[in-house]
């Protein structure tokens, strides 16, 4: 085995699967990770646990880019959930909430891509580090998927808003 996982690494990996599943469920069911849903609550709580367990992992023996990414993810989630609870954002509220939670999912998958490609298959991993071409290419593809997804979400939010506005408008003859 090329890069064996520590006990904490195995626990972290197991915990980290929960927000992936909950996030994918939210996207499939609602087109987004929607704050009011049970899947979002599972997503957020398991994401927080995933980030917290990642703080105990370090190949460099100290604070690293993965830890910074985890902190950034927590800030993005907290900001998105706070934004969902306020009315100060006006018409931007659904866009910012949707973008923020989707961006947190994007950030969740970034280290998963690197770790998976540098550890699998166990006998001969596909990559030897984050600078490997296959990791960089996969991350670029993931960025394109993310940007396409948030663009679709924005379109659907706008389409729903227009439909609601039209439904509320009095019929004129």
| Segment 16-27 mean pLDDT | 97
34 close to 40: Cβ distance less than 8 angstroms = yes
The predicted structure's pLDDT at residue 171: 62
CA 144 to each of CA 98, 100, 103, 137, 155: distance values in angstroms, whole numbers, following the listed order = 17, 16, 12, 11, 16
Instruction: Please give the residue that has the higher pLDDT: either 19 or 172.
Output: 19
pLDDT digits (tens, 9 = 90+) for 94-103: 999 999 999 9
Ramachandran angles phi, psi of 35, nearest 5°: -55, -35
- Residue extents of the structural domains in the chain: 7-168
Dist CA 24 CA 31 (whole Å): 9
Residue with tokens 């995933």, as numbered in its chain: 50
Dist CA 89 CA 81 (whole Å): 12
pLDDT digits (tens, 9 = 90+) for 57-96: 877 778 888 899 999 999 999 999 999 999 999 999 999 9
pLDDT band at residue 51 under the 50/70/90 scheme: very high
């Amino acid at each position: 085995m090329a890069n064996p996982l520590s006990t904490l690494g195995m626990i972290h990996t197991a915990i980290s699967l929960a927000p992936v599943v909950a996030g994918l469920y939210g996207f499939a069911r609602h087109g987004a990770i929607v704050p009011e849903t049970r899947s979002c609550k599972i997503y957020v709580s398991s994401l927080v646990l995933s980030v917290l367990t990642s703080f105990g992992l370090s190949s460099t023996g100290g604070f690293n880019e993965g830890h910074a990414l985890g902190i950034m993810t927590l800030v993005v989630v907290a900001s998105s959930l706070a934004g969902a609870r306020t009315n100060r954002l006006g018409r931007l509220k659904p866009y910012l909430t949707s973008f923020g939670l989707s961006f947190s999912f994007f950030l969740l998958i970034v280290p998963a891509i690197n770790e998976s490609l540098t550890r699998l298959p166990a006998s001969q991993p596909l990559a030897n580090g984050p600078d490997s071409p296959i990791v960089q290419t996969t991350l670029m593809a993931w960025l394109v998927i993310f940007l396409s997804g948030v663009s679709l979400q924005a379109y659907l939010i706008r389409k729903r808003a227009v439909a609601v506005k039209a439904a509320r408008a009095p019929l004129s003859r």
